[in-house]
Amino acid sequence: MGTKFYRINKILFIFLILAGVFIIQPVFVSADNLCWDECPSNGQRDESGNQYRICGNYDADTCLEWSDWQQKDNLCWDECPYQGKQECSDSGGYRVCGNYDDDYCLEWSSKTLCSSGTVCQSGECVVGCTSHFSQKCFDNDIYWYDSCGNKEDKIQECGSDYFTNNYRCQGNLVQRELIKKGCSLNSCYSYSQWENQQDCSINGNACNNGSCINQLVPTVNLKANYSDGPITVPYNSSVVLSWSSSNATSCYASGDWSGTKSTSGSETIYNLTSSKTYTLTCTGGGNSSSDTVYVKIGGSSSSTSLLSVKKLVRNITKGSDLSESVLAEPNDVLAFTIEVSAGSSSLSNVIVKDILPEAIKYRQNSLKIDGSTASGDIFSGLNLGSLYQYQHKIISFEADVSSAENFKFGENQFVNIVTVSSSDLSARDTAGITVSRKAVAGAATEIKTGIANNPFLDFFLFPLLIAAIIVWLFRSHIIRIDEWVNSQKIKYQDYKAKKILNLKIAQIKKQKIN
């Protein structure tokens, strides 16, 4: 038993020794061939002075090592970054960096074409891209891009920013309108914004209507006989022009007077025989202002030489100027002015009475005397009290034109009358008002649009009746048009038969002659 156990252990021992030899031996073989790279990448060149060496595998192992140093025979430069680098020549092919000539420098190879159905991208041939696949913004315009992300042709130019000639004031800042144009979110945009251009306050100026102006704008106030006018004076009488100004350094006259004037003063114009217009312009700080007064000539009778009145009207709604007559439409707002003037003598107990047409309605609390709100009833008689020599008072009030149903279609003429009296003197004047009522399309008017002015009768019943009468006339043979048609038909057939007969006779005669 012991001998047998010994033999088994001996065989097992020998087996383990042999197995160890076969297992351990490959480790020793691998250790004999173990190596490391001595340079970074195959083809890389290292230079030193006038010599160079190239990284590669120059022995029997698998690792990289430097070549022997080589002498630079001819000076050259690399035309590409490193050996093996690929880039696209165009979309149809690529080229590879390497040394393809007798020198030691790198250059690009010739073009290698991509196969059918592929294009070059990032130095490699890939499956072709779909053209016009998407739209994107580039350089503020919109371009087509293919499915591979390559930019193609331009779709739309979005334009560039530009300034307009529009200016405005923002406080004392002058701002100019800027139109912003560009591309965003794959579409063109355009909007306006205001850009600061100038700060007027730096020079003590102010912004007005989009530009810097001197804040000290001159003012001027010109009066005729101490009234802003217009005024009416007797024929061959005189008028006193007086004026004042502020922030002005000089003034000059124009219109029916002329010359340089002081910044304040007065002047008498004598022997007026026609209406006059006087204008005074004053300047200062690079700005100017003007004021104008109108003087009209009245009659020469004793009453108007001592007392005169002038009635004017304007259309507030339409923005018209004061005149002796006005055009209006229903619901317009009118303004009336009455100028009462004393002549060469003072007047007392001056009463003004105005008569408005029924279709023109006075606006409550609109009565004013010389620009100040006044009480009293001008329609029953407004007492102005006394007027001294050549004094003027201006009365004004507003009135509403009635609604359209109060007027006939077309033009409606009205006259507004004002009468002024003082003791045994009186004067009167009028203002004309023309109210135009226009027909509205589709609305009922007094103009007839048919026989009966009834759509059912005019456009249905009457035409039906006329058609029935015409049918009855034909069917009762009162109008024998069928007989006339038959007679014309017979005449035509007879004419046609004679023509055929004459043709045959001519043919027979021709045959006999031949």
pLDDT (tens digit per residue) in 344-360:
888 899 999 999 999 99
Mean pLDDT (whole number) for 124-150: 87
pLDDT for the residue numbered 474: 66
Q: Which of 36-45, 313-322, 480-489 is the most confident on average?
A: 313-322
Q: How far is CA 302 from the centre of its chain?
A: 62
CA 494 – CA 507 distance, rounded (Å) = 20
Residues 6+ apart with CB under 8 A from 146: 129, 130, 131, 132, 133, 152
Mean pLDDT (whole number) for 155-172: 93
pLDDT for the residue numbered 256: 93
Distances (CA, A) of 120 to 86, 126, 147, 398: 11, 6, 14, 86
Mean pLDDT (whole number) for 481-505: 75
pLDDT for the residue numbered 74: 64
> Does position 472 have pLDDT exceeding 80, yes or no?
no
Phi, psi of 197 (to 5 degrees): -115, -35
Mean pLDDT (whole number) for 131-154: 89
- Please give the mean pLDDT across all residues of the chain: 83
Residues 6+ apart with CB under 8 A from 443: none
pLDDT for the residue numbered 440: 57
Mean pLDDT (whole number) for 114-142: 85
Mean pLDDT (whole number) for 234-252: 89
Neighbours of 251 (CB within 10 A): 25
Q: Of 31-35, 40-44, 85-89, where does mean pLDDT reach its minimum?
A: 31-35
The CA-to-CA distance between both ends of the chain, in Å, stands at 163
Strands 45-48 and 51-56: what pairing?
antiparallel
Q: Of 17-31, 294-308, 440-454, where does mean pLDDT reach its minimum?
A: 17-31
SS3 of residue 495 by DSSP: helix
Phi-psi region of 440 (alpha: psi -120 to 50; beta: other; left: phi over 0): beta
Six-digit token pair at 433? 């008002």
> Does position 113 have pLDDT exceeding 80, yes or no?
yes
pLDDT for the residue numbered 339: 92
Residues 6+ apart with CB under 8 A from 63: 35, 36, 37, 38, 57
Q: Give 220's pLDDT tier (boundaries 50, 70, 90).
A: very high
* Positive or negative: CA dihedral 483, 486, 492, 496: negative
Six-digit token pair at 452? 């009966």
Strand partners, 208: 211
Q: Give 469's pLDDT tier (boundaries 50, 70, 90).
A: confident
Helix, strand, coil shares, percent, the chain, to 5: 20, 45, 35
For the chain, give the percent of residues with pLDDT over 70: 85
pLDDT for the residue numbered 5: 46
Q: What is the dihedral of CA 145, 151, 153, 155, to 10 degrees?
A: 60
Would you say 351 and 343 are in contact if contact means Cβ atoms under 8 Å apart? no
**pLDDT top residue among 192 and 482:** 192
**pLDDT top residue among 233 and 339:** 339
Q: Of 56-60, 166-170, 493-497, where does mean pLDDT reach its minimum?
A: 493-497
CA 252 – CA 222 distance, rounded (Å) = 12
Mean pLDDT (whole number) for 149-161: 91
> Does position 338 have pLDDT exceeding 50, yes or no?
yes
Mean pLDDT (whole number) for 117-135: 83
> Does position 388 have pLDDT exceeding 50, yes or no?
yes
pLDDT for the residue numbered 22: 47
**pLDDT top residue among 493 and 416:** 416
> Does position 23 have pLDDT exceeding 50, yes or no?
no
Q: Give 396's pLDDT tier (boundaries 50, 70, 90).
A: very high
- CA neighbor of 211 nearest in space, from 255, 269, 252, 166: 166
* Angle at the Cα of 304 from the Cα atoms of 302 and 305, rounded to 5 degrees: 65
pLDDT for the residue numbered 446: 47
- CA neighbor of 370 nearest in space, from 155, 226, 235: 226
Q: Give 177's pLDDT tier (boundaries 50, 70, 90).
A: very high
